[in-house]
Structure 1
Amino acid sequence: MSGAARALACAVLITAFGNGLYLAGAVLFLTRSVGLSGTDVGIGLTMAGVTGLGAGPVVGHLADRFGAREIYLLTLTAEALATGSLVLVHSFAVFVVVAAAVGVAEQGSRAVRGALIARIGGDTRARLRGYLRSVTNIGVALGAAGAGLAIRSDTRTAYSALILVDAASFLLTALVIARIPRQSPLPRPERRTMRRGRLDLPFLAVTAVYGLLSLQYAVLTVALPLWIVSHTRAPAWLVSPLLLTNTLLVVMLQVRAGRRVDSIADGITITRRAAVLLALSCLLFCVSGAGSAVFAASVLTLAVIVHTLGEICHAAGEFELSFALAPDHAQGRYQGIFGMGTGVFIAAAPALLSVVCIDRGPAGWVLLAGVLLTAGLGIGPIARWAQRRAVHLVDA
């Protein structure tokens, strides 16, 4: 691994640690210290997420023109300022404004980071991104564990400290990123080729496929806890070890899965495998509701393992195709478009899965399995369409 890649991994670990603090303590800070209701927080975060979605392609385009490292330093600074401003929130209106700023900065950073990974990783960029995903899981887990001290204290001072440390993590990350050599923007190809970035229907179709598959990310964080308490006899405390199992498996296996994906054909194959595994896990979740507590716990454990393997395969395929089907000179913009497209589905997933899997019960899990399976198995012709489009435009 190159020095730049090691520096990026260090930066990602720092940011992930801060995010772990934020994820564990932000909602409690806003409800128990600021005094907002849970509904207010949910609405505000949703509005912020939607606001931030459009930032990815715009900021990614700036990275393509002026350099990913330079724009990344700006977005990290913006994230630090926006996140730190949360401690000044005293009303719902102010919270929405600050949360929107956080969302815009976060989505912008995500797109620029994708462009930086593409430049630093070169031919092994998908593998590097898989490694960084493992690093991210480690950092978030450590941050969430550290947040336990503040949560136990349950004071405004403690919660504010979590927010401010998270803000400081972005500044520390910026210092690390500044040590990476400047990545000069790649020259633009012919004008006709540039049309592809404006309306690239095949790439948008690939984005839609992975958007549908991204519904799976809310299965463990949203659907699983609700399913356990409302439809099974398993104890509620089982949620924690199941989520820990997911995290550990991702840390151990994501890099290994990425090593086997070096081409568009490999990306298609592993995405199909992901669809089969994710659909099977949905059926296992469905079955877990029909039995004793021991039966439910056993089936849920198996379901989470199968789901995590599908999640790992999904991520490996996504990393390869999102990079390989984007022009090198416009990686920032294309990563922003890809993030925006999948982000729409991720934002809608909690509400959608609550209605489909929890309200509808077993039938909802079967429906979700069908959606995931259909999307994943359909990636082949869509990805090859995008590949042909790319070759045609470059040769035009």
Structure 2
Amino acid sequence: MPLLPEPGPIRTLATATLINTIGNGLWMVSSALFLTRSVGLPVGQVGLALTLVGLVSLVTSTPAGYLADRLGPRSVAIGGLAALGLCEFGLTGVRSITGFLLVAGPMAILDAAQRAARGAIIGGCVPPDRRVYTRAYLRSVTNVGITVGAAVAGIGLTVDTRSAYLSLIVADAATFLLAAAILSRLAPVARAPRAESGPRLIALRDRPFLAFVMLDGLLATNFGLFEVALPLWIAERTDAPRWMISVVFAVNTVTVVLLQVRAARGTDTITGAARASRRAGFALLTSCLIFPLTAGTHHLLTITLLIVAAMVHVAGELWYSAGGWGISFGLAPDNAHGQYQGTYAMGHQFGQMIAPAVVTTLTLGWGTPGWWVLGAAFAAVGCLVPPVVRRAVAHRTSAPTTPGGVAAPPPRSHQSPESISTTPE
């Protein structure tokens, strides 16, 4: 992966993303302790509040994307980031669960808007054959930014005073404002014309696309498997030292930074993207067959199997991400990228919401059979993606307009719908 992309919108997006995700890393690492140790909220209230905030982001994702299409994605992205920065300053005065929700609720809406707008910016100012590359490059940058932010946040956690936590929040707010300023260098992206008749939120009426979103959301539970179930599995069911949790996370992070762009090759067509989703399902199945072996192994063999399984898992994660980007861009009408990217994000958010309960129940509650069930589910869902995408392509080929009267362009795969194979590679 080149260190810097060519000058232009991709480099500007990458710079803004790096700044913004450094702030994300600050918040991700410090938020729970800030709310419990500084604000004084019980752990149960913190969990409930964060779940409610996630729900707000999920249900407003598509409307926020529609807003980005209508007002112009560049303006919505800049305005969303700037408003997020101002709201973040408001967190410094939070003293109760109600106060937190009054600030975090609007922030969830603003975050959904700027995320959907960023996808629409890519759809509007990046050539079709460079869109998946752009998303892949930005994901690599995101991992770098979060890692840097998390490392800096560690200083504040070590100090463990209210002033330290407030300093992290102020720094996070500053990253939102700086990212907004950087995005202002982008040229404006044309607004989508208003449909003369029919529903506004056409993405929510696009049943083939929604079927893909549902499958993509189920595959997204693999993040919960890695972030929630695996650390508990290593600590409670294996004889591996606790520091192996950090090792497998490092393997994941470094691999994403180095290989996400490479893994995205070939997924700029709908056909290639659908195949990548299927490969992701089988890779995740393989990792779910290896991880439970560590419950019966010892010492060096346990460590070796954990590293191997983590590498197989991250391969599935890379293919999953690239496949989803290619399909979400490929199936979206050119004048509705915002709401289609917002709807695509809903699946990912839903998968991450249900993941902790599902993956811990299966892996820790059922043990080895649970791992097998989870892996088989990943493979089955991955195999369903190509036929669902083929149906979506056929739907667009046969229908000259979408339900809302928005013209649906021909698919960008440059292949007939029948060319999307459903047999394992």
Question: Which TM bucket (shorter chain)?
Answer: over 0.9
Matched residues in 2 for 1:215 and 1:338: separation? Answer: 15
What residue number does 2:160 align with? 154
**Residues 232 and 293 of structure 1 are in contact (CA less than 8 Å); yes or no, is this contact kept in structure 2?**
no
Matched residues in 2 for 1:386 and 1:68: separation? Answer: 25
More displaced stretch, 299-308 vs 37-46: 37-46
**Residues 208 and 341 of structure 1 are in contact (CA less than 8 Å); yes or no, is this contact kept in structure 2?**
yes
- C-alpha displacement at 1:191, in angstroms? 5.3
- The one-character-per-residue Cα deviations of 1:142-167 (angstroms, maximum 9, x if unpaired) are 11111111111111111111111111
- C-alpha displacement at 1:259, in angstroms? 2.5
- C-alpha displacement at 1:376, in angstroms? 0.3
What residue number does 2:187 align with? 181
Going from structure 1 to structure 2, the CA distance change for 1:16 and 1:10 (only over 3 Å counts) comes to same
What residue number does 2:172 align with? 166
- The one-character-per-residue Cα deviations of 1:180-203 (angstroms, maximum 9, x if unpaired) are 011112446785797853411000
> Given residue 185 of structure 1, which amino acid in structure 2 is its aligned partner?
R
- The one-character-per-residue Cα deviations of 1:270-290 (angstroms, maximum 9, x if unpaired) are 111111101100111111111
Match of 1:144 among 140, 144, 150: 150
- C-alpha displacement at 1:23, in angstroms? 0.7
Q: Aligned runs of 1:185-264 on 2, under 5 Å?
A: 185-187=191-193, 196-264=202-270
Which stretches in structure 1 are left out of the alignment for 5+ residues?
A: none
Match of 2:117 among 89, 112, 116: 112
- C-alpha displacement at 1:81, in angstroms? 2.3
Q: 1:48 aligned to 2:53?
A: yes
- The one-character-per-residue Cα deviations of 1:338-359 (angstroms, maximum 9, x if unpaired) are 1112211211111221212111
**Residues 23 and 146 of structure 2 are in contact (CA less than 8 Å); yes or no, is this contact kept in structure 1?**
yes
What residue number does 1:344 align with? 350
What residue number does 1:320 align with? 326
Matched residues in 2 for 1:250 and 1:226: separation? Answer: 22
More displaced stretch, 74-83 vs 194-203: 194-203
**Residues 13 and 135 of structure 1 are in contact (CA less than 8 Å); yes or no, is this contact kept in structure 2?**
yes
- The one-character-per-residue Cα deviations of 1:27-73 (angstroms, maximum 9, x if unpaired) are 11111111112222111101110111122111111111121001111
What residue number does 2:96 align with? 91
Matched residues in 1 for 2:150 and 2:273: separation? Answer: 32
Q: Aligned runs of 1:3-152 on 2, under 5 Å?
A: 3-123=8-128, 124-152=130-158
More displaced stretch, 108-117 vs 327-336: 108-117
Matched residues in 2 for 1:53 and 1:196: separation? Answer: 17
SS at match of 2:336: helix
Matched residues in 1 for 2:201 and 2:393: separation? Answer: 16
**Residues 193 and 393 of structure 1 are in contact (CA less than 8 Å); yes or no, is this contact kept in structure 2?**
no
Matched residues in 2 for 1:66 and 1:40: separation? Answer: 36
**Residues 192 and 393 of structure 1 are in contact (CA less than 8 Å); yes or no, is this contact kept in structure 2?**
no
- The one-character-per-residue Cα deviations of 1:159-178 (angstroms, maximum 9, x if unpaired) are 11111111111110110011
- The one-character-per-residue Cα deviations of 1:218-271 (angstroms, maximum 9, x if unpaired) are 112101111111211111121112101100000000011223322111011111
**Residues 20 and 139 of structure 1 are in contact (CA less than 8 Å); yes or no, is this contact kept in structure 2?**
yes
Match of 2:277 among 250, 257, 271: 271
> Given residue 172 of structure 1, which amino acid in structure 2 is its aligned partner?
L
Aligned pair count reads: 396
- C-alpha displacement at 1:2, in angstroms? 4.3
- The one-character-per-residue Cα deviations of 1:104-136 (angstroms, maximum 9, x if unpaired) are 222222111111111122211111111100010
> Given residue 398 of structure 2, which amino acid in structure 1 is its aligned partner?
H
More displaced stretch, 248-257 vs 180-189: 180-189
SS at match of 1:329: coil
> Given residue 245 of structure 2, which amino acid in structure 1 is its aligned partner?
V
Going from structure 1 to structure 2, the CA distance change for 1:320 and 1:18 (only over 3 Å counts) comes to same
> Given residue 48 of structure 2, which amino acid in structure 1 is its aligned partner?
I
- C-alpha displacement at 1:370, in angstroms? 1.1
